[in-house]
Amino acid sequence: MKKENKTAAKVEEPTARITRARAKALGSSGGIFPSSKPSFKQDQKHVLCSKFKKAASDENKASTGAPAGMQHKRRAVLEDVTNILCENSRTNNIHPTKIQTSKQARRVPTKKKIEVVADISPMQEDANTKLAEELSKIRMVESQEVTLPVKLEEQEPTETSMSSSIRECGLPDHMPLILGSSKPAGLQSSQKKEDVVCKKSGTSNGPDIVDIDSNFKDPQVCSSYAPDIYSKLRVAELDCRPSTNYMEKVQRDITPSMRGILIDWLVEVSEEYGLVPDTLYLTVNLIDRFLSQNYTEKTRLQLLGVTCMLITSKYEEICAPRVEEFCFITDNTYTRGEVLKLESHVLNFLHFQLSVPTTKTFLRRFIQAAQVSYKLPSIEFEFLANYLAELTLLEYSFLKFLPSLIAAAAVFLAIWTLNQSDHPWNPTLEHYTSYNASELKTTVLALEDLQLNTKGCSLNAIREKYKQQKFKCVATMTPPQPVLSLFQNHDS
């Protein structure tokens, strides 16, 4: 009897997969001996080897060991999950001399076998239930393809409810717009949404306004989200704005000229380490925000500068300089421990709010709007606008102007410097900057003084930087006519 069962178990190995629950149930009821457990391990090991290694020897073993049963192994078991029928048929075919013995031996535990089937029937029901659910989903999709456009026309739902119901049915978002001969209500709601996006981007506000967000094909441009992003940035620049008079109210040991010397030195540091312009702008922002509410001695002002640049480098740069490098650039005036201690103090004071819109943030979008509007040498114009914007970092008096206002003024003056034939401001720039020409007058005149260096400032790091050939020597450019005459003609 034991030999017969072992032989039957060996023959059963490739026919069907034995789960743990079934093996436990059959083992407890006496239907299958524990010899089926190692056969499951052998089958599993064979499948893994044939799947990943795909060795020729494994394929030969699979072909010689189970020529007829391997095809049924990948099928889902839907009817008989007990393997009793297969066991009887195979033992009858392989051992014809012991047919009567096996039949008599299996007549005794008939009740046990029925009990085993009763125990395993929930597994069969689960398999049938899953199949029924899959069939019902297929029928649901087929019915939705016929009835969905009609329901959309009758109920006229909103676009949000329509898209959510479509996702629940498993249909793509564009399916209701394609199905049906009549135009569904969902098309009207999607058309309204496109109109809103175009209105925000400026395409529907007049024929004189050029749409700079029309490149919807490039995902990196984020054209459809750009108007909303910059609307949020205009609100954020008010929240993260430093105090405009902290030198008079908070600080007693440092002066605006000391601040200018520090920033001029940080420009050289950023050039030495090849840092991006965003790092320099954000560093100045962190310095001003910290000094707005924290009294600092002049002996620790340089420590604050390198600490803020270390923080910003970690936020903006791909490969930020190490702490030791910032200590070395100060001639080891400050130790590594002092820099790290102040870094923790600055971050906790600012509540780790480092996502701050700076002048550089708005300057990119305003330059894009200007290049679309005017036929200017794009490279020289971009360098000149960046040069004028960086000059404002040195001046403490420019804290009273918003970063977006400084960026708009830099674009205005750069256009006027390169081209005096037309007015530098048009409806497109006014739309995307939200400033008209009269609102820029004060800022543009102050920026022109920096460009001409009327005050004779001796801090030349930015000027020397933009006198290089790689920046097209834009620091040597000056407008042939004063910009004040432009405003006088505009006012008159």
Residues 6+ apart with CB under 8 A from 425: 412, 436, 437, 440
In the structure encoding, which two tokens stand for residue 348, read together? 């906790």
Residues 6+ apart with CB under 8 A from 177: 184, 186, 187, 190
Consecutive sets of 10 residues in the chain, 492 residues long: mean pLDDT of each? Answer: 48 53 60 45 46 44 45 39 45 45 44 41 59 60 43 41 41 36 38 41 60 77 85 91 94 95 97 96 97 95 97 96 95 95 97 94 94 80 96 96 97 93 90 93 95 92 95 92 78 52
Q: Cα–Cα distances in Å, from 326 out to 51, 73, 267, 303?
A: 55, 66, 14, 9
Q: Are 282 and 316 in contact (CB under 8 A)?
A: yes
Rounded CA-CA distance 228/77 in Å is: 55
Q: Specify the 3-state DSSP secondary structure of 436.
A: coil
In the structure encoding, which two tokens stand for residue 332, read together? 């080891």
* Predicted pLDDT at 28: 55
207 by Cβ neighbours in 10 Å (0-12 / 13-18 / 19+) ranks as: exposed
Please name the residue that has the structure tokens 């959309």. Answer: 152
Angle value at C-alpha 166, between 164 and 169, nearest 5 degrees: 115
Architecture of domain 245-349: Orthogonal Bundle (1.10)
* Predicted pLDDT at 272: 94
Is the CATH number of domain 359-491 1.10.472.10? yes
Q: Are 292 and 334 in contact (CB under 8 A)?
A: no
The amino acid present at 258, given as its one-letter code, is M
Identical topology for domains 245-349 and 359-491: yes
Q: Are 373 and 366 in contact (CB under 8 A)?
A: no
Q: What is the domain partition of the chain in residue ranges? A: 2-108, 137-196, 245-349, 359-491
* Predicted pLDDT at 24: 64
In the structure encoding, which two tokens stand for residue 26, read together? 């059959």
pTM of the model: 0.60
**How many of the other CB atoms lie within 10 Å of CB of 449?**
13
* Predicted pLDDT at 232: 93
